[in-house]
Amino acid sequence: MKLHRIGSAAAVLTVAALALTACGSDSPTATAGTDASTSGSAGGAVTGTLTGSGASSQKSAMEAWKAGFEAANAGTMVQYSPDGSGAGRKAFLAGGAQFAGSDAYLKDEEIESSKEVCGPDGAFNVPAYVSPIAVAFNLPGVETLNLDAATIAKIFKLEITKWNDPAIAATNEGVSLPDTAITVVHRNDESGTTENFVEYLAATAKDVWDYEVSGDWPKDLASENAKGTSGVVATTTATEGAITYADFSAVGDLGTVNVKVGDDFTKISADAAAKGVEAATPVKDRGALDMSLDLKRDTTESGSYPIILVSYHVFCSTYKDQATADLVKSFGEYVLSDAGQTEAAGSAGNAPLSAKMSAAAIKSVEQITVAK
């Protein structure tokens, strides 16, 4: 059996740490489901129920984080609904969750909207989970294919419809390609994975992919579809000739595409994803606690994999009471710690954050305060 797992070996993800300063607020947000200990910092004893919602790509990692955090903090419970990045952000912004998981950082208008529940300093994003997005397919007897960006874009734009199309054959000499129809499988929910994937297409295949970058799949390209990462993987696995895009940790036995970068084809891996993240730059004009990243999708650096998913945890800069603030901070710091990242890597196979990125993110979470 061929397992498409990244493995638990730490990948070195080096991104310049942002300067972080404390921010205060006098506006409340949702409180934890039960009273938490008010013994002080997030490093002390905490109890209570923490509610989150969002990215389905984080599902396996979140299960590991939940188990590890609850084991270390008796009396705590973490509830997370993997309903998709868009649904998670909406729930958070409506005050229905204490944090969100999102494969896309909050847009400027969402930052502004967050001030209603998070106070005048609003919400902030910290990277919590890094993984490549696989272009995965179900073609019996074929484990890997070499494809350039334009060909990938034409497939998902429904312009290339057979697996033995000359454009596919041209970069896969010696591979026996069948005259099988290609079935594109895409997300039917607002998805950060979709947004990351189409951002790659828009950056690297401009002449083909002329759609705006969005978390919603283009309506005029409607094809087979399913909700969440598990949904598209299950549909692709059950459909011979199907192709989809999904978090690499979830694709199981499906074949995967080696993406052309520069003059070479890069095999998907943790190390290749790490090299892709190295080129990222901080998003401009964000708050002091925010660590949103702009990814360089059109990199030509050999060995770099550009279809990367940096999934964030979204927190308020202030919470209504000390109990909630302590619980949020304690969980956030655990997720970002070496222990939390190691647990996630073992469960989900993602690439752990670098020590530098982890330290900067923890520093942001430490500065969550209580509304005055």
pLDDT in tens, 202-252: 999 999 999 999 999 999 999 999 999 999 999 999 999 999 999 998 999
Q: Is the pLDDT of residue 21 over 60?
A: no
Residue 9's pLDDT is what? 34
Mean pLDDT of the 247-264 span: 94
Q: What average pLDDT does this structure show over 154-178?
A: 98
Instruction: Report residue 44's pLDDT band, with 50, 70 and 90 as the boundaries.
Output: low
Q: Evaluate if residue 25 carries a pLDDT over 50.
A: no
Q: Out of 20-29, 97-106, 187-196, 337-346, pick the least confident.
A: 20-29
Q: Which residue has the higher pLDDT, 40 or 324?
A: 324
pLDDT digits (tens, 9 = 90+) for 103-115: 999 999 999 999 9
Distance between CA atoms of 308 and 302, rounded to whole angstroms? 15
- Looking at the predicted structure, is the pLDDT value of residue 261 above 70? yes
Position 154 pLDDT exceeds 70: yes
Where do runs of H (alpha helix) occur along the chain?
A: 59-72, 85-93, 108-118, 149-156, 166-170, 192-204, 228-237, 270-278, 322-336, 338-348, 355-366
SS3 labels along 147-206 = ECHHHHHHHHCCCCCECCCHHHHHCCCCCCCCCCECEEEEECCCCHHHHHHHHHHHHHCC
Band the pLDDT of 38: cuts 50, 70, 90: very low
pTM to 2 decimal places: 0.75
- The reported pLDDT for the residue numbered 366 is 97
Whether the per-residue pLDDT at 70 is higher than 60: the answer is yes
pLDDT digits (tens, 9 = 90+) for 268-309: 987 788 788 877 899 999 999 999 999 999 999 888 999 998
Query: For residue 235, what pLDDT is reported?
Result: 98
Q: Which residues pair with 313 in a beta bridge?
A: 101, 126
pLDDT exceeds 70 at position 81? yes
| Residue 268, pLDDT score | 94
Specify the pLDDT at position 272: 87
pLDDT of 36 > 80? The answer is: no
List, for residues 8-17, the tens digit of each pLDDT value: 333 334 333 3
> Quick one: which H or E segment has residue 132?
strand 123-137
Please provide the DSSP assignment of 299-338 as one string.
---TT----EEEEEEEEESEESSHHHHHHHHHHHHHHHSH
